[in-house]
C-alpha cells in the first residue's frame, strides 16, 4: 500500500489500530527507560529523557505510550492522516508529555530522509518492505542506536498467511526472525537478545508475528 491508500484507510475510522500500544512492545520495553544508558547527543548534552524512534508509527499508539512512560519520542510515518491523528490524540495528554513527541511525515524508503538520532531505542513495528529495502532499513535502524541502545523489530511472520490470522498475504513483504538476523549480519554492531515467533490474539484467532530484539554493546 502507498501513502495515499493508508491515508484513505486511516480516515475511515477514529483509530484503525485502537489506542493501546502493542502488547509485545510493552512487554519488552516496559522499564527500559530506567535501564538504558543515556549518553550525550550531537550537541554534547545528556538528554533529560531517553530517546526513542518509532518507525512507521501509524496513528502513534506506541509513540504515545512511550512518551507517557518516560521517553522523548520521534515518530515517523508516510501517512499524513496517521500523523495528524496521532497529534490529535496527543492533545488529550498532559502538556509535559505531548511536548516529548515530535512527528514527521516521511517516506522511509527514501535513503536521504533525515531521521535525527542517535536513539536509545528504535522501534520498527509492522513496517513491511520487500527484502532489499527491509535490509537497508534494519541496518540503518541499528546505526541510529546509542551504545547500550535497543532495536526492536516486530512484524507479520512469513508463517502467518498459512498458520495464523489476518495481516498482509504477500510473501515478498513478510519475514521471519531469521530474516532480520540475516539482514543485520555480523557487522551491524548489535547483538541479538531475542529472536522468536509471537502469537498475537485477535478476535478471530491468533496472528503469528516475528520478533527480534537486539542491543548495541557499551564499549
pLDDT of residue 18: 42
Q: How far apart are CA 21 and CA 50, in angstroms?
A: 19
Q: Looking at residues 74-88, what average pLDDT do you find?
A: 93
C-alpha cell at 176: 521471519
DSSP assignment letter at 157: B
**Is residue 11's pLDDT more than 60?**
no
Mind listing the pLDDT tens digit for each residue in 156-167? 999 999 999 999
Q: Looking at residues 78-90, what average pLDDT do you find?
A: 91
C-alpha cell at 90: 496527543
Structural domains of the chain, ranges and CATH numbers in brackets: 3-15+55-215 (3.40.50.150)
pLDDT of residue 216: 97
Name the more confident of 166 and 197.
197
pLDDT of residue 108: 95
**Is residue 193's pLDDT more than 50?**
yes
Residue 56 near residue 124, CB atoms below 8 Å: yes
Please report, in angstroms and rounded to a whole number, the separation of the first and last CA atoms in the chain.
41
Mind listing the pLDDT tens digit for each residue in 23-75? 999 999 999 999 999 888 778 888 999 999 999 999 999 999 999 999 999 99
pLDDT of residue 102: 97
pLDDT of residue 97: 93
Amino acid at each position: 500500500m502507498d501513502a495515499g491508500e493508508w491515508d484513505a484507510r486511516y480516515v475511515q475510522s477514529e483509530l484503525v489500530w485502537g489506542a493501546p500500544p502493542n502488547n509485545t512492545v510493552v512487554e519488552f520495553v516496559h522499564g527500559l527507560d530506567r535501564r538504558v544508558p543515556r549518553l550525550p547527543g550531537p550537541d554534547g548534552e545528556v538528554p533529560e529523557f531517553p530517546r526513542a524512534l518509532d518507525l512507521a508509527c501509524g496513528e502513534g499508539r506506541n509513540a504515545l505510550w512511550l512518551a507517557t512512560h518516560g521517553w522523548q519520542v520521534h515518530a515517523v510515518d508516510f501517512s499524513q492522516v496517521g500523523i495528524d491523528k496521532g497529534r490529535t490524540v496527543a492533545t488529550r495528554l498532559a502538556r509535559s508529555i505531548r511536548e516529548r513527541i515530535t512527528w514527521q511525515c516521511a517516506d522511509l524508503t527514501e535513503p536521504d530522509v533525515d531521521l535525527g538520532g542517535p536513539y536509545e531505542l528504535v522501534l520498527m513495528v509492522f513496517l513491511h518492505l520487500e527484502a532489499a529495502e527491509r535490509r537497508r532499513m534494519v541496518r540503518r535502524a541499528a546505526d541510529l542506536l546509542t551504545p547500550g541502545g535497543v532495536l526492536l523489530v516486530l512484524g507479520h511472520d512469513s508463517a502467518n498467511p498459512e498458520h495464523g490470522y489476518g495481516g498482509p498475504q504477500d510473501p515478498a513483504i513478510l519475514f521471519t526472525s531469521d530474516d532480520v538476523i540475516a539482514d543485520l549480519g555480523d557487522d551491524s554492531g548489535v547483538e541479538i537478545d531475542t529472536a522468536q515467533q509471537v502469537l498475537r490474539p485477535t478476535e478471530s484467532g491468533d496472528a503469528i508475528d516475528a520478533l527480534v530484539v537486539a542491543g548495541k554493546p557499551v564499549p
